[in-house]
Each structure stands twice: as structure tokens, then as C-alpha cells.
């Protein structure tokens, strides 16, 4: 049986890792073992944060909607409840876009939500 020499494969494997690690600081871009560890961690971080990004954007949209809704005299919670009762199906991403770029349209949605809410919900809370 012929002897298998692995030099080509080994060099290619190391070259691929070091290419992926280019741009890292210090030993992490120059030494194979450190670079390999960092590349593995980087892949883990990117996988995790692709999922985390979705929640981050949702939180951002909710903050923007809440700020715009409060400028119109209603809280985020009651605004979303009112939209649901009114049968308006607009997702939070679009609501945030409207709040930032088209305040007049957002205000009309707030008025729609206020009309759909029961009247006792809109009343200010008494200092009991």
C-alpha cells in the first residue's frame, strides 16, 4: 500500500484557518492554535447573535412605538390593545417605521386605537 503524505492537506487546513483569522489582533491572527480557537469562538458568536439580533430589533421597535404613542397621549400597551380590538393588523416593524417617518399616519392609527378601546380604559387613574 502506498504511503500517504499529508503535507498538502495540513498546509491547506492551516492556511484556511489563518485566512479566516486575518484581521484579529496579535497572536490570534498569526499563530495557528490561537487563530483556530478564535475562529471557532467567532463562529459561535455569529450563530448566537444572528438569533439575538431579532430580539434586539423587536425591543428597538417597541421603544420607538412607545415613545411616539406617549407623545399622542397613550401608552404602548393600550395602543397595541386598541389596534387589536380595532382589527388593525400592522406589525411592530411597520409601526416603528410609521412612528419615525410618517407621524401623521401614526397619529391616525393612535386615534383608531383610542376609539376601539373601552371608554373606562382611556380615563385617567384616580389618586385612590
C-alpha–C-alpha distance, residues 49 and 65, integer Å: 24
Q: pTM of the predicted model, to two decimals?
A: 0.78
pLDDT mean over 86-95: 96
pLDDT mean over 81-85: 95
Query: 18-45 burial, b for 16+ CB within 10 Å, e for fewer?
Result: bebbeebeeebbeeeeebbebbeeeeee
Fold of 53-121: c-terminal domain of poly(a) binding protein (1.10.1900)
Residue 123 is predicted with a pLDDT of 61
Give domain limits for the chain.
Answer: 9-52, 53-121
Give the number of other Cβ atoms within 10 Å of residue 125's Cβ: 5
Confidence of residue 127 (pLDDT cuts 50, 70, 90): low
pLDDT digits (tens, 9 = 90+) for 11-56: 999 999 999 999 999 999 999 999 999 999 999 999 999 999 999 9
Residue 7 is predicted with a pLDDT of 93
Judging by beta carbons within 10 Å of its beta carbon (0-12, 13-18, 19+), is residue 58 exposed, middle or buried?
middle
Amino acid at each position: 500500500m502506498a504511503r500517504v503524505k499529508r503535507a498538502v492537506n495540513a498546509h491547506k487546513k492551516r492556511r484556511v484557518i489563518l485566512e479566516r483569522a486575518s484581521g484579529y489582533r496579535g497572536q490570534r491572527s498569526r499563530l495557528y492554535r490561537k487563530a483556530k480557537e478564535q475562529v471557532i469562538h467567532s463562529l459561535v458568536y455569529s450563530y448566537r447573535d444572528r438569533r439575538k439580533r431579532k430580539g434586539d430589533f423587536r425591543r428597538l421597535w417597541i421603544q420607538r412605538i412607545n415613545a411616539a404613542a406617549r407623545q399622542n397621549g397613550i401608552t404602548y400597551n393600550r395602543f397595541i390593545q386598541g389596534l387589536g380590538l380595532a382589527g388593525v393588523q400592522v406589525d411592530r416593524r411597520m409601526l416603528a417605521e410609521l412612528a419615525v417617518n410618517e407621524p401623521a399616519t401614526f397619529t391616525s392609527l393612535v386615534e383608531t386605537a383610542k376609539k376601539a378601546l373601552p371608554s373606562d380604559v382611556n380615563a385617567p387613574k384616580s389618586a385612590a
